[in-house]
Amino acid sequence: MDENIDRQYVVDSSYMLSFLMPDEQSQEVVDIFELYSTGKIELITTTLLSYEILNTLKSAVLRRRVSEEAAYSLLEKFTKLRIAEFAIDKTKVLEMAIKYHISGYDASFLVLADSYDALLLTHDIRLQEIATKA
């Protein structure tokens, strides 16, 4: 981690989507991404995040939550963030998923946060509770 960066955070799909989707944004989330864009904090994630974003955008178009044009614009916004994506130890993900009875997707964010001693940014209350224990 760069010595000029105050803190490292793992961003999960719920948190990322609350930044991307106009009807889910909050000032807290906007502030976090502002800190990231100015280099004050570092955001990292798992390689799964891109696929979760793609799937959500596809579903949002099919449910008419956003237009197809808006979905492509949101994908471009996500891509421009250039958040570092890391592969994680699949054995540790499985162990965490079994231990806490959570999905492999959720466990991957927890394992990454644990591996990098980073805080997890999530809107999933149960996942946040587990992150404080793990």
Instruction: State the pTM of this model.
Output: 0.90
Residues 26-72 pLDDT 10s: 899 999 999 999 999 999 999 999 999 999 999 999 999 999 999 99
The DSSP secondary-structure symbol of 82 reads: -
2 assigned to some structural domain: no
Instruction: Residue 96: give its domain's CATH number.
Output: 3.40.50.1010
- The number of domains in the chain is 1
23 assigned to some structural domain: yes
1 assigned to some structural domain: no
**CA–CA separation, 5 and 3 (whole Å):** 5
Find out whether 17 and 29 touch, Cβ atoms under 8 Å: no
Its domain, for residue 119, covers 7-133
